[in-house]
Structures are given as structure tokens and as C-alpha cells.
Homo-oligomer: A and B are copies of this chain.
């Protein structure tokens, strides 16, 4: 058996998220079906580094899977991409040790959230950004975001807390910048709680539109109550960017 590490990109618009479920097509299921048709194995199981929600995208989702195929990785890459629908693509395939697990061995993940704040909507960004049609102060958002850097209990930014044993995480880097009408939020952490990036973005949005002072983000964090934070930003702006392994 071989253990393969795949880097995968997808436009999540038309999927019910990463994980296989009964009532909607998912990325995992679509990928497994394409791979099985190439390797001719009855069942291939793809482990993703994390579950992306319905409508969320990936530029660098990492997946591992065990297979006994003898196809070389370049041939496999081409064959799988030929089978996949055009909103999912495999970027690279590498052999890794049998002990590698895409979810357990991830030590850092980086997400990007894209907001387009042009007053007139942009049809070409509707599937890949949040368009609140309201000009945002990205510098205030960046300053406010720095309160979240470091090791904290992030339960104020978790939907339906508690989902995990602990809601303590470490944010290594959080950055808000502008590129013309696009405001880009990037967050890198050792792990994320359910809807954590989207509720952070919804909170920074309240600062960016001048509704909350910057220091309110610090207060929200300290109050440890999801009701204190801003709204959960919609899924179409979120991209899983990069996963780091030890």
C-alpha cells in the first residue's frame, strides 16, 4: 500500500462542504469517486486536513489516502483531473510515509477571507467574495485584529460552543489589507473552532464600517460569549489557503 498526499483546490459554491453527507454532493465524495474510477479500487478514503463548510473554497486543501495503484504520480494527477468536474482540481500528488495523517499532523492552517466593498456589485466576484456594498476601513480592521493574536480562549468566536474539548487556540498571524476594492483578511493558527474565521471577519466588519470601536474586539474576546461577537460572515468569501505539517 502507498500513502499519497494530495493538494486540492476547489470552488465550493455548488457543494455541501468537504465531508460526505447524504443530502448534498460534497468535495470528499466527488474526489473519492474520481479516484476510485482511476485506481479501480472498490473504496478509497480521503482524509482532509479540515472540513470546509458548504460554499467555502480551497486553494490548498491537503488530503491523504491509501491506495495500491501502481500508476506514477504524474499520470495519476492527469487522470484524476480528467475525471473531476471542473470546479475541483488536484494540484500535486506525493508519496508520504504510512504514518502521515492530513488531519492529525497539521500544525498550522492559514485561511483567507475576501470582502469586496465596491458600492456597485461585481458579478465576477459574487461566488468568491462577500459584497456588503459598504466601504470599510481596512486599517482599523487590521489594528483591531491584533487583539486576537496569541493564545486565547476563542469561544466568543465559535458557533454552538462547545464543539471540541478545548476552545483555546493560538493565532500566529492575522492581517487585513486592501487591494483596490478588495479587503483581504488572512489568519494563521494552530487550529480553528467551528466558524471561527467567519465570526472573526463578521466582528472586524463591525469595526470596518465604523459601528464598533477597535477595542471592542478585545472585549468580545474576553467576554467569552458568542453573542458578543459580530455576525458570521457568509461562506463564499472563505478560502482554505495553506496547511503546514511538522
Contacts and interface: CB of A to CB of B under 8 A. Distances in A.
A106 interface: no
B9 A122 contact: yes
A141 B162 CA distance: 58
Nearest to A126: B86
Interface stretch (A87-95, A150-158, A176-184): A87-95
A120 B77 contact: yes
Interface in A1-53: 9-11
A85 B140 CA distance: 32
Contacts of A199: none
Contacts of A91: 120
A124 B120 contact: no
A146 interface: no
A206 interface: no
Contact of A123 (B11, B77, B122): B11
A126 B86 CA distance: 7
Task: Specify the main secondary structure of chain A where it touches its partner.
Answer: mixed
Contact of A121 (B89, B122, B126): B89
A10 B120 contact: no
A10 B121 CA distance: 10
B122 A89 contact: yes
Contacts of A81: 120-121
Contacts of A124: 9, 11, 57, 128
A125 to B, nearest CB: 10
A86 B128 CA distance: 12
A89 B123 contact: yes
Interface in A123-146: 123-124, 126, 128
Closest 8 interchain pairs by CB? Answer: A11-B123, A86-B126, A87-B123, A89-B121, A89-B123, A89-B120, A10-B123, A91-B120
Given A9-B122, A9-B124, A87-B126, 19 more contacts: A9-B123, A10-B123, A11-B123, A11-B124, A11-B126, A57-B124, A77-B120, A81-B120, A86-B121, A86-B126, A87-B123, A88-B123, A89-B120, A89-B121, A89-B122, A89-B123, A90-B120, A91-B120, A124-B128
